[in-house]
Amino acid sequence: MDYGEVLSKAWKIIWKHKILWLFGILASCGAMNSMSSGGGGGGGASGASSQSNLWHGNGAGPHLLRITTPGYFEKLAANAVEVPWGVWVSIGIVALMVIIILAVLIAVLRLFLGTLGTVGVIKGTSMADQLDPNEKPLSFGQIFNASKPSYWKVLLFHLGYKVAGTIVFMIFFLPMILLTVFTCGLGLILLIPLFWFIHQMLIFTTIAIIEESLPVFKAIERAWQMITAHLGHVLLMFLILFLGQFFVILLLGLPLFAVLISPLLISLLITGGEITVAGIIIGSILFLGFILFMILFSGVVQAYILASWTLTYRRLANKEDLAPKIISKSDQETVEFT
């Protein structure tokens, strides 16, 4: 298999058909959701607003964020103690129910959107691989309509392995802890090949469902055959994608992190260790821009990885179709008879 052709073709496809970036962002909802969560920025803003009445100035206006009221936290604790315990229990139960409901809704939404994104990237890559280079880019509607037949099967498969994975984790959680403790962590290293193989089975099964329109269990069987028959190719492609993703994130992450914290550092140096309002505002704006960039970046990376695996699957499948087949004696007799 020509790895360079697969990698370059995957980039050309997602660059020409940029709608795959959107599907990649949706796919990253399930794979890299930590990058797309903006909780840190919201928490910082709410913390700053809740303490706005505690700012004070030196004659030039309120610009420093400090708590100046003596015994502020002691008074809050005293007021909290005076509240009846039944009220706290009720508040805790309601808060727990709200958290559970929100967690379930978010998990369901991630599952539906993540599946749509994954199916869209794989199907779009397959369609683009068969198009003439002079054809116009694919539209969202074309990919969406072509993904419909496979969507529910992939969704069922993803839901099934998540439920099965949760059950297996609950069963083997304690043995894994004991294995880690008694082997000083070496036991987990031995499980890495197993986890890798399961991960590749998930990818190839999903592609088999979409690419060959197979039922779920037939797709699992097909993925097993493809990986075991081409284990070297699959392992090498995984290493290429893994190392490439690692270095790209490293090269982009360090400069972006430096830009993100530079206003706060400059503010601390100028004010002698105090945090100014200007530093907080600039830092918050940069942090928001950083989050938006990481959402787009994660979508592009996810689209490229899925496109690369899709093309790898297609090339390995074509290689099997072109391989010479040994005709048995019974098959020869059947051909001669017909």
Task: Dump pLDDT digits (tens) for 77-91.
Answer: 666 666 677 767 788
Look at residue 259 in the predicted model and tell me its pLDDT.
65
Q: What is the CA radius of gyration of the chain?
A: 27
Establish if 35 belongs to a structural domain. Answer: yes
Establish if 329 belongs to a structural domain. Answer: no
Domain that holds residue 168: 3-321
55 has a pLDDT exceeding 80: no
Task: Scan for tokens 């967690």, then name that residue.
Answer: 103
327 has a pLDDT exceeding 80: no
Which of the two residues, 88 and 148, has the higher pLDDT score? 148
Look at residue 60 in the predicted model and tell me its pLDDT.
43
Say how many domains are in the chain: 1
Using one digit for the tens of pLDDT, what is the confidence trace for 250-308? 877 667 666 666 666 666 666 555 556 666 677 677 778 778 888 888 889 999 999 99
Look at residue 51 in the predicted model and tell me its pLDDT.
40
Establish if 336 belongs to a structural domain. Answer: no
- Mean pLDDT, residues 39-63 taken together: 40
Q: How many CB atoms lie within 10 A of CB 156?
A: 13
9 has a pLDDT exceeding 90: yes
Look at residue 126 in the predicted model and tell me its pLDDT.
93
Establish if 334 belongs to a structural domain. Answer: no
Using one digit for the tens of pLDDT, what is the confidence trace for 206-224? 999 999 989 999 999 999 9
pLDDT tier, 312 (very low <50, low <70, confident <90, very high otherwise):
very high
Tokens at 299, concatenated: 């979508």
Establish if 332 belongs to a structural domain. Answer: no
Establish if 304 belongs to a structural domain. Answer: yes
SS3 for 94-153 is HHHHHHHHHHHHHHHHHHHHHHHHHHHHHHHHHHHHHCCCCCCCCCHHHHHHHHHHHHHH
pLDDT tier, 183 (very low <50, low <70, confident <90, very high otherwise):
confident
Q: Where are the alpha helices (DSSP H) in the chain?
A: 3-16, 19-31, 39-50, 72-82, 85-130, 140-182, 186-211, 216-229, 231-270, 277-322, 329-337
**pTM for this prediction:** 0.72
